[in-house]
């Protein structure tokens, strides 16, 4: 009994999911998405330090931006996850 043919995109998406590469590809977009979510001016004052255990660690060089981003951290986290298409960022650690 043969299976019906499948779309190549569908097969590749399944392969990415099974291998765990889909998550890695999504996370590779974090720097680009961070700039979209916080805006270019704030992004220039930041450095994404690491992503570990669902936490995105961000170093903010300008104190005023640090305060602003801390106040908006939950909103920013939600917007990042929306753009990632999955709930990958569980917390923002802004220092």
* pLDDT greater than 80 at residue 33: yes
pTM, two decimals, is 0.82
Confidence of residue 18 (pLDDT cuts 50, 70, 90): confident
- The verdict on residue 8 lying in a domain is no
Q: For the domain that residue 73 is a member of, what is the CATH number?
A: 3.30.300.180
- The verdict on residue 68 lying in a domain is yes
Q: Residue 23's pLDDT is what?
A: 85
- The verdict on residue 12 lying in a domain is no
For 77, the domain range is 29-94
DSSP-derived secondary structure for the chain: -PPPP--HHHHHHHHHHHHTHHHHHHHHTHHHHHHHHH-HHHHHTEEEEEEETTEEEEEESSHHHHHHHHHTHHHHHHHHHHHHTS----EEEE-
- What is the total count of domains within the chain? 1
- The verdict on residue 51 lying in a domain is yes
- The verdict on residue 11 lying in a domain is no
How do residues 50-91 score in pLDDT, each as one tens digit?
A: 999 999 999 999 999 999 999 999 999 999 999 999 999 999
- The verdict on residue 3 lying in a domain is no
Q: Residue 7's pLDDT is what?
A: 87
């Amino acid at each position: 009994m043969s299976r019906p043919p499948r779309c190549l995109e569908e097969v590749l998406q399944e392969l990415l999911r099974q291998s765990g590469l889909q998550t890695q590809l999504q996370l590779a977009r974090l720097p680009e998405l961070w700039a979209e979510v916080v805006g270019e001016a704030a992004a220039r004052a930041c450095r994404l330090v690491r992503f570990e255990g669902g936490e995105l660690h961000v170093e903010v060089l300008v104190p005023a931006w640090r305060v602003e981003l801390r106040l908006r951290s939950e909103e920013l986290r939600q917007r990042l996850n929306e753009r990632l298409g999955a709930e990958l960022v569980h917390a923002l650690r802004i220092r």
